Amino acid sequence: MQSTKFLSEFEVHIDYLNHFALQLTKDKNQAKDLFQETALRAFHYQNKYSPDTNLKAWLGTIMKNSFINFYRKKKRRREVQDNTEEHYFLSTPKNSIGNEGETSVNMKELLKIVDTLSDDYRIPFLMAYQGYSYEEIQVAMNLPLGTVKSRIFHARKMLRNKIPSVFNPVAA
C-alpha cells in the first residue's frame, strides 16, 4: 500500500485511536504516548497490512498490544512512585553497602553444577540464561523449537535435583 493512501486511511481513525488510548490508560499523557507508539508501529509495519482488511481493527490490535507490553514492563520493574511534589521513589534502595562474597561463592558452585550437564542440555540452558530467545537458540543449534524448549526444561529439572539443599531450601 502506498504511504499517502495509508496515511489518508490512518487519519480517518485518529479519533477512535485517541479515545481507545484514553480508555486503556485512563490518563491523558499516557494516552498521547500510547497513540504515538501505535502510530509509529503502524507506519513502520504498514507493509504488513493487507488493504482488503479492516484497518481500524488492525490499528486497535497494535494499540492494545503496545499497551499490554508497556504494562508488563512496568510490572516487571515494580517501581512504586510517591505522587507527592518531591516525587520520591519508594522502591529506591537504602544507602547501604552490601557484601557480595557469599553470592560470588554460590554462583561459582552453581556454575560447576551446570558444567556437569551434557552439552545437549547445558548449551541451550546457558543460552536461555544469557537472554537468547527460544527461536534464536533454535537457529544457532539447528534444532526444532520443541526440542530446544524440552532440553531447557529438562536441564532445569536436572539442575533442581543436583543443587544442594543450601541453594534450594524447598527440596530439604
Domain boundary assignment for the chain:
3-77, 101-162
The pLDDT assigned to 16 comes to 94
Domain 3-77 CATH assignment equals 1.10.1740.10: yes
With a cut of 50, which residues of the chain have pLDDT below it?
91, 171-172
Fold matches, 3-77 and 101-162:
no
The pLDDT assigned to 51 comes to 83
The pLDDT assigned to 58 comes to 93
The pLDDT assigned to 113 comes to 84
Of the candidates 150, 145, 163, the residue with the CA atom closest to the CA atom of residue 120: 150
Which fold is adopted by the domain 101-162? Arc Repressor Mutant, subunit A (1.10.10)
The pLDDT assigned to 1 comes to 56
| Residues ≥6 apart with Cβ < 8 Å to 143 | 124, 137, 151
Instruction: State whether residue 136 is helix, strand or coil.
Output: helix
Cα separation of 19 and 10, whole Å?
15
What residue has cell string 504516548? 33
Q: What is the pTM of this model?
A: 0.45
Cα separation of 126 and 116, whole Å?
13
